Amino acid sequence: MKRLVLCILVLQLVGCAELQQVVDQLPQGTTGIGNDQIAQGLREALNMGIEKQVNQLTSENGFYKNELVKIMLPEELQKVDKTLRDVGLSSLADEGLRIINRAAEDAVGEATPIFVDAVKGITFNDAKQILLGNDNAATQYLQQATKTQLYNKFNPIIKNSFQKVGADQIWSNIITKYNSLPLTNDVNPDLTDYTTNEALEGVYTMIAVEEKEIRTKVSSRTTDLLKKVFSLQDKS
């Protein structure tokens, strides 16, 4: 245990290359807290983030009323939004934004099983790198492990969601109104890919929020295992 804590202390004082050498020399049977516990603690932290933050995004206004992840229009459509508001069509512009965020909320409901499978795959070697990493190291691991699969899952759901709420009709109305205004250049965007990527970024943003809370606030470590594992970094 003392060797592990000492290693983490050294982590803050030496360069990355030297640091890695020290980490690689960690014994596989540290006393007080074992390798399995360290890996399980990281899994527990990520599962907590998934349960608390990702599930929150699936609720109505989970994206739309959350300024951290609210999906705004892509750059090429921001002029559409501004122009509509300038000519008194703010309610139409608001509806366009709302349905984009609703589609993201629909899609995120499919994320949890994919995240759970990824979390199960965390090994001790993964865990020690994450534990000694920055405030969102666990989130970055999860992003690398799930992004492609989540994109493939989200994209058709968002497309279907747009159809379900009549988004195609709403956006057709918005674009028609905009294109009919004088001195504007016609636009005709496909928002499915854009919304899919923004939804993914929102998911990882909220997991990172929870991870940072657990890393930096002792009160956020609500189980004995989280307290044990993350106390290692506190002593650095």
Long-range interactions of 63-67: CB distance < 8 A, separation 24+: 63/101, 63/102, 63/104, 63/105, 63/199, 63/202, 64/97, 64/98, 64/101, 64/102, 64/105, 66/202, 66/206
pLDDT digits (tens, 9 = 90+) for 79-123: 777 887 888 878 877 888 888 899 999 999 889 899 989 999 888
pLDDT digits (tens, 9 = 90+) for 108-162: 988 989 998 999 988 888 888 888 888 889 899 999 999 999 999 999 999 888 8
Q: In the block, which residue shows the tokens 């989200």? A: 154
Lookup: tokens for 171:
């956006």
Q: 127 near 119, Cβ under 8 Å? A: no
The rounded distance, in Å, linking the Cα atoms of 194 and 222 is 37
From 112, 81, 69, 104, select the one nearest 195 (Cα to Cα): 104
The rounded distance, in Å, linking the Cα atoms of 207 and 202 is 9
pLDDT digits (tens, 9 = 90+) for 28-85: 444 357 788 888 888 888 888 888 888 899 998 999 999 999 998 877 677 777 887 8
Hey, where are the domains in the chain?
35-227
